[in-house]
Structure 1
Amino acid sequence: MSDVYLLCYPSAVVSALSTAVDMLDIANTLASMQSRRRATAAPFRWRLAVAEPQRWQALASVLRCTCVPLEELAGAGKDAMVVIAPPLFDHIGGLEHMLSRLDRERAAIAAVAARGALVVAPFTAVALLVAMDLPAQRKLAVPWLIANWMQLSEPARRLQADQPVVKSGNLLSSRALDRMHALLLQAVAHTAGNALARTLGNALLDQPERGETVNIWLKTGDAQRHSVALRARRYLQQHLAEPYDLPRLAAVASTSERTLLRHFMKTVGMSPLQFLHQLRAERACHLLEVSTLSLTAIAEQCGYQDMSAFRNLVRRHTGQTPGAHRRAHSVRAELRAGGGA
C-alpha cells in the first residue's frame, strides 16, 4: 500500500485534492476486481497533511481521511506520494507573499522528495517547487499563468514548456488544471504499475468510438416510463445471467408474448433476445477490461456455460476473441487469473 499525502494550506485549490481522492478511490476499487490483488490491501491510502491539523478536520472528513501534521509528511519514505494543492492568487505579488508563508510546507516537500517519494504538482502547485534544492536534471511543467515568473526564478534547463504533463524522475507536474486526470494516471502508473493505470484510464477517459455506440442507442428513443418494453428491459438488465425465458418475460411485462415482441421491437429496435445478447456482450467487455477473472468465470457471469457461444458473442460485438479484446483494452496478460482465448 502506498501512502499518499494531500498537501493543503490556506488559499489552496482544494478541488484538485478532491479530484485526486476520487481517482485514487476508483483505482482501489478497480484493483479489488483483479484477482491477484483481492487478498492484499488496497494500493492507495491517503491523508491530509497540513501545518495545523485541528483547523482542517472538516476538509479531512470530506476527503474521507485522517489529518496529519507536516512532520509526518516530511518523514515519509521513498514509496510515498505527495499531491500538492495549487495556490489560488490574484497577482504574482500575492503568490510570492503566499510562498513566503509556506516555508514549513516547502521544507516537508523537499525532505520527502530527497528520499525519492513521488511529488505531484498540478498547475500552479509547481510554484512551491521553484527555487527548491532539487537535482539539477529535474524539470518542471510551465503553467502560462506564472511562466514569466518561473523564467526569472529558475534556470531554463529546469523548465519544460512544450509538454502539458512532465515526468522528471520523481517529479510529476502539469501546466494546466485540466490535465489533472492525465497527471494522476501517470502517478498511479509510477506507484502501482502500468496495468492498473491503463484500466483506470479505460474507465475514466473519453472514448469517442464508444460514445458513438451510445449515441446509436439514444437515437432509438426511450420507452414510456411504465411501458411494456421498459418493464421487460429492466428485467433483462437485472437477470442477464439467467436463461432467456420469453413467457416469463411477458408475464413480468404484464402482456402477451406477441404484444411484448411487437412493442419491444418498436421501442428498442431489436427483439428481447437480441437486447439480452447486447447486455451480455457489454458486461463481458466490461469484465474483460477491469477484472482479472478467467474467461470461464466471465462467461458464467454473462449467462454462458458454453465457451464457444461466449466467444462467438464477444467476437460479434467487438470483432475480436475475448482474449484479444482483453489484451487490447485491459490489464496486462500476466495479471489474468487464467483462461485462454
Structure 2
Amino acid sequence: MKQIAVLATNNSISSDLFGVLDFFEYCNVLWQYQQQHQATPLLHCYLVSPDGTPLQLKQGVSLPVQPHRWQEADAIILPPAYAYNRAQLTAIAEPSRPYLAGLLDVAQSGKLIAANCTGTFILAASGLLAHKRATTSWFFKDAFQSLYPDVHLQLNKLLVQDDNLLTAGATTSNINLCLAITERLVGEHFARQIAKVMLTDPNRNSQIPYMDLSIGQPHNDQVVKQIQAQLSKQLAEPFSLDLLAQQFYLTKRTLLRRFKLALNDTPLNYLQRLRVEHAKRLLETTDQAIEQIVAQVGYEDVSSFRKLFVSYTEFTPGQYRQKFSQEGHFNCCPVS
C-alpha cells in the first residue's frame, strides 16, 4: 500500500484537502471493486499538521491528523493555502516552515513531491524549485516570478515535472495532479480508469486557453489605468503610440517606461491581449462569423489575427469556439 502525506496547515484551502482525500479514496474503491473486494487498499492518503495537533480550518472545521512519519511516505503533497495579494503570497510559506527541513530530506531520497496553485509558492520557498521547471496558478504569475525569479516558470503547462518535483496550475488542476500521482505510484492503466470513472480529462495539459488575458497585475499608476480604460474602449481603432502619448501628455519614452513598470508590458501587447480576450468572448457567446469578429477587434487580415490568436490561446478561433461554446446555448454552464 502506497502512502501519500498531505502537509496541511490551518490556512490550507479546505476543498483541496477534502478533494485530495476523496480522490485517493475513490481509487481504493475502484481497486477493491476490480479485485472483488478481496484486496487491501491501494493507497493511504492522510493529513499532517505542523505540530501534530488537529487542523483548525478557516471555515470552522476541525480535522484530525495522523502521527505518521510523513518523510517516509511514497509521495508528498503541499496543498494550496489562502492568499489573495502580494503580501499574503510572500508570507504563505511561514505556517509550513516546520515541514521545510523534512522536505529537503525527502527530495534527496527521490520521492515524489507535488504542489498546485498557491501550494507551489510553499514549495518554491523551500528552495527546491530553484533552477527547476515548474508551473503555478496563471493568476499569480507576476507575483511568483517576482518572488522566485530563478524558477523556470512554464505557465503554458497544466502539469510540470522536473526530477521528482511535480507542480500544477490553479484550483481544479488538483484533480490532474492526483491523476499524475496515481499514474506514477500505481500505473498509467489504472490512472486512466479512475479518470474515466470521475469524468476527468487526463489529456488536459495547458492553462493557456483558460487564461483571462484582460487581467493584469494590480498597480497604483492612475494614468496607466486611464490608458488601459481607453484602450479597452478602442479595440477596433488603429493603434498609434504617438497619438496615445499625446492624448495623455507624455513622451513616448515616459509612456513605455510607466506602462512597463505598472504592467510589465507594452501598450501594444496589452491591446493585443484585450483584442484576443474580446474575440474569445464573442466566440463563446455568439455565432458571428470569424471575419465579423476579426473586424470588431481591429484587424482586417483574418490570417494575421488567427496567428495572433493561436499564439495566445494555443487554439485556432474555430477550435476555441468548438471547445468553449455550446451550439445554440451560449450560457456559462448549460444544462440539458
Which amino acid in structure 1 is aligned with residue 110 of structure 2?
A: G
Which amino acid in structure 2 is aligned with residue 76 of structure 1?
A: E
Gaps of 5+ in 1: 208-341
Which amino acid in structure 2 is aligned with residue 151 of structure 1?
A: Q
Aligned in 2, Cα 1:203/1:161: closer, same or farther, shift over 3 Å? same
Aligned in 2, Cα 1:137/1:65: closer, same or farther, shift over 3 Å? same
Distance 2:142 2:80 in 1: 18
Contact preservation (8 Å) 1:30, 1:196 = no
The equivalent of 1:52 in structure 2 is 51
The equivalent of 2:67 in structure 1 is 68
Aligned in 2, Cα 1:64/1:81: closer, same or farther, shift over 3 Å? farther
Contact preservation (8 Å) 2:5, 2:47 = yes
In the comparison of the two structures, how many residue pairs are matched? 199
Aligned in 2, Cα 1:139/1:11: closer, same or farther, shift over 3 Å? same
Q: CA deviation at 1:130?
A: 1.2
Aligned with residue 100 of structure 1, among 94, 98, 112: 94
Aligned in 2, Cα 1:91/1:136: closer, same or farther, shift over 3 Å? closer
Q: CA deviation at 1:156?
A: 5.5
Distance 1:101 1:181 in 2: 24
Distance 2:25 2:63 in 1: 10
Q: CA deviation at 1:90?
A: 2.9
Which amino acid in structure 2 is aligned with residue 91 of structure 1?
A: N
Q: Determine helix, strand or coil for the equivalent of 2:54.
A: helix
The equivalent of 1:83 in structure 2 is 77
The equivalent of 1:25 in structure 2 is 25
Q: Determine helix, strand or coil for the equivalent of 2:193.
A: helix
The equivalent of 1:9 in structure 2 is 9
Q: CA deviation at 1:68?
A: 2.4
Aligned-residue RMSD, C-alpha: 2.9
Contact preservation (8 Å) 2:116, 2:171 = yes
Aligned in 2, Cα 1:146/1:106: closer, same or farther, shift over 3 Å? farther
Distance 1:119 1:97 in 2: 21
Distance 1:98 1:167 in 2: 22
Distance 1:152 1:82 in 2: 26
Contact preservation (8 Å) 1:28, 1:44 = yes
User: Any runs of at least 4 consecutive aligned residues in structure 1 with deviations exceeding 4 A, and if so which?
Assistant: 37-40, 62-66
The equivalent of 1:148 in structure 2 is 142
The structure, 1 or 2, with the larger RCO (C-alpha pairs under 8 Å, 6+ apart) is: 1
Q: CA deviation at 1:63?
A: 10
Q: CA deviation at 1:100?
A: 3.2
Which digits, 9 at most, give the CA deviation of each residue in 1:15-72, with x for residues without a partner? 101111111111111111334x96542110122111122333899xx99975227xx2
Distance 1:133 1:76 in 2: 20
TM-score, normalization by structure 1: 0.52
Which amino acid in structure 2 is aligned with residue 178 of structure 1?
A: T
Contact preservation (8 Å) 2:10, 2:57 = no
Aligned in 2, Cα 1:101/1:20: closer, same or farther, shift over 3 Å? closer
Gaps of 5+ in 2: 202-336
Distance 1:21 1:154 in 2: 30
